[in-house]
Structure 1
């Protein structure tokens, strides 16, 4: 499970056996979200609204890095 970023208590990661569409998993404590990288669509969420907004903002800020990491990781398989 490659971890891409730990910031403000949020952990951004993907699993080694991922599938399309490209997405990022985010956890903070017991809360969790799955966000599609192309559209920032929330596919799953247990975050409180404030935490989800922060997770989305961080995903948008780091989206290019996440996309590059996804492409690099899965191109080696």
Structure 2
């Protein structure tokens, strides 16, 4: 991870803010979209909201919810899904950028 630099004490890697081993690739409202540095196919994002997680597959043909932590409110799932659909191309590009560094 030689491309990791620190700016204002916030770790930045390939233009993404790093929290642990999870680059934050998008923030919107209460939702934080991350991709683990050592994650696996298929392309997907982990969405955190109020301390809970929703995993959304970005898919080649369509976006689909893969996993939801217990206690996640239905409106939050719907909103995370809406954002993922709306930002799909940007999220897929982030996945490809991070995935290229894994190889």
TM-score normalized with structure 1 length? 0.92
Please report the RMSD computed on the Cα atoms of aligned residues, expressed in angstroms: 1.0
Superposition deviation, residue 54 in structure 1: 0.3
Aligned length: 77
Which structure dedicates a bigger proportion of its chain to strand?
2
Q: Residue in 1 aligned with 2:10?
A: none
The structure, 1 or 2, with the larger RCO (C-alpha pairs under 8 Å, 6+ apart) is: 1
Q: What is the rounded CA distance, in whole Å, between the counterparts of 1:63 and 1:49 in structure 2?
A: 20
Unpaired runs of 5+ in structure 2? 1-21
Please identify the structure whose Cα radius of gyration is greater.
Answer: 2
**TM-score in terms of structure 2 length:** 0.70
Q: Deviations over 1:30-53 (max 9, x none)?
A: 221001001322111132111100
Aligned structure 1 segments of 4 or more residues deviating by more than 4 angstroms: none
More helix by share: 1
Q: Which range moved further: 10-19 or 41-50?
A: 41-50
